[in-house]
Structure 1
């Protein structure tokens, strides 16, 4: 017997979350920062395969605007910029971990390799 429950608020909440994390790159960028704690622009560029400098810059600005990451400029020569997750951004850790676990499992299912 199927329950007749309205899940519209949950569906809208998923939509809202995907609106913030949309696109090809944001979850990979957040993952890079999440797993390494602090990352420089070039580190993230190396971690996120296929992203351009321009796109990474755009995505980082959007993640900062949505209060998921901090951008810290260090007064060094040359100037060093580091990105880290905000306290709010760290709430994504369990989601990133779940996605990583699912991705590993999915790869095994598709390739038959462990």
Structure 2
């Protein structure tokens, strides 16, 4: 049975995870656990402060991450992947496997040319 664009949930998934940085942020939170804003920024040096803030807000809105604010001065805010966000782990695993296979394929193609 052929899936129509209307029924294709891949597009819905891509719309949720779209953006240059969302998957990178999720992957860092999955691998490292809870991180503060500055720690995330240090792990993703090419992202701007504004973009990181924006992407974190969108991920929180989608319930993929959780933000905890500690009432202290200065305020302490920590981010972690949510239980719902952890359901992305099998997708990360498949992406890792595909990435390895793709690199091996590309190496083979380069050797054919060289």
Determine the structure 2 residue equivalent to 1:29: 25
Determine the structure 2 residue equivalent to 1:19: 15
Q: What is the TM-score with the length of structure 2 in the denominator? A: 0.81
Determine the structure 2 residue equivalent to 1:59: 55
C-alpha RMSD over aligned residues: 2.1
- The size of the alignment, in residue pairs, is 108
Residue of structure 2 aligned with 1:42, choices 26, 38, 63: 38
Q: Does 1:99 align with 2:95?
A: yes
Q: Matched residues in 1 for 2:106 and 2:48: separation?
A: 29
Determine the structure 2 residue equivalent to 1:87: 83
Cα offset for 1:101? 3.0
Show structure 2 runs of 5+ residues with no match. 109-114
Show structure 1 runs of 5+ residues with no match. none
Q: What is the TM-score with the length of structure 1 in the denominator? A: 0.81
Cα offset for 1:8? 2.1
